[in-house]
């Protein structure tokens, strides 16, 4: 009913997002209808970029009678800032790839068929070393490409 696998439910229990369910005499878990809503809430929050740990902290506070709304708002604003940073990085990457393709088109136009145009080699002139790669968050590009 929650549209997740039993493994997901067990993970959420283990991470403290769901209360431990009652058990039958045979050891089967019995969930109440509130569990379905809780799982759906977690899935929606994960889709916005919240982490399981962030949700654990917020939901534990909420279950304890606190009102963590301002914390949730702050976390969501941080998610938005992160997305906007990634968009800026991807736009810069797109523009860089366009410049490279324009250069390569010129090189290919002056290269006879069957001969090397040195496109990848030309990247040393076209793409600055260092910096971060927007395709791999947090990864730095180095001279060796690692």
pLDDT in tens, the chain (146 residues): 888 998 999 999 999 999 888 889 998 888 888 999 999 999 999 999 999 999 999 999 999 999 999 999 999 999 999 999 999 999 999 999 999 999 999 999 999 999 999 999 999 888 887 655 555 555 444 444 43
Sign of the alpha-carbon torsion through 97, 103, 105, 108:
negative
Cα dihedral angle (26, 28, 34, 40), rounded to 10 degrees? 180
């Amino acid at each position: 009913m929650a549209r997740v696998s039993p493994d997901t439910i067990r993970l959420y229990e283990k991470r403290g997002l769901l209360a431990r369910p009652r058990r039958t005499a045979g050891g089967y878990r019995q969930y109440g209808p509130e569990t379905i809503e809780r799982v759906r809430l977690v899935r929606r929050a994960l889709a916005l970029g919240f982490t399981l740990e962030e949700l654990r902290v917020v939901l534990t506070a909420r279950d304890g009678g606190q009102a963590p709304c301002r914390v949730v708002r702050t976390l969501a604003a941080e998610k938005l800032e992160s997305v906007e940073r990634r968009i800026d990085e991807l736009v810069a990457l797109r523009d860089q790839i366009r410049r490279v393709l324009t250069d390569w088109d010129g090189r290919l136009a002056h290269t006879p068929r069957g001969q090397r145009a040195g496109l990848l080699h030309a990247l040393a002139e076209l793409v600055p070393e260092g910096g971060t790669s927007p395709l791999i968050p947090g990864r730095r590009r180095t001279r060796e490409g690692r």
